[in-house]
Amino acid sequence: MNPTVSRCLSLDGAAPKVRAAMLGLIEENLRVLADALALRDWNFVVSPEPCAPQFNAQIEPVFGRKLATLRVRADFLCLTPHQQRHSLTHELLHCHLAPTQAVAREVLPKRALGTFTVNLEYGVDGLADAVAPLLPLP
């Protein structure tokens, strides 16, 4: 066996039981990280639908509720443990900022909202860079 060949599973094409197990692993890891990030009172659903391919993951908090849906790329489990932890940390940090983002969506003109969103992403990612290394790996 060639040790340089990566052996990981993609959600695409995985048998239903394998796919459910993979999503379960991601959900379990998400829960651990959420608890560590003071999101113990939030509930999360890991969607079987993949996120847009240009992202590792995306989260959609439900307005007014401590509930969010996470989508990951189909080959999320092929990312390194460090990448998985950073991606999930980044998405979870968005939950803390969801109310701020909701207000911005309501009151900012389109162009300002675009700038706000880009700056929010820089901030969230900077926080994830700082915090993720302190959290457990999957």
- Output 19 or 55, the one with its CB closest to Zn ion: 55
The nearer residue to Zn ion, 23 or 92, going by C-beta atoms, is: 92
Specify the residue, 60 or 75, whose C-beta has the smaller distance to Zn ion: 60
Q: How far is the CB of 61 from Zn ion (least distance, A)?
A: 12
Would you tell me which residues interact with Zn ion (CB under 5 A)?
121, 124
Contact criterion met (CB below 8 Å) for 98 and 90: no
Instruction: Determine contact, residues 61/68, Cβ cutoff 8 Å.
Output: yes
- By beta-carbon proximity to Zn ion, the closer residue of 70 and 124 is 124
- For residues 31 and 35, give the distance between their C-alpha atoms in angstroms, rounded to a whole number: 6
60 forms beta bridges with: 69
Least distance (Å) between residue 105 CB and Zn ion: 15
Minimum gap (Å) between residue 27 Cβ and Zn ion: 19
What phi and psi values does residue 64 have, to the nearest 5 degrees? 80, 0
Region class of 98: left (phi > 0), else alpha (psi between -120 and 50), else beta? alpha
State the nearest-atom distance from the C-beta of 110 to Zn ion, in Å. 19
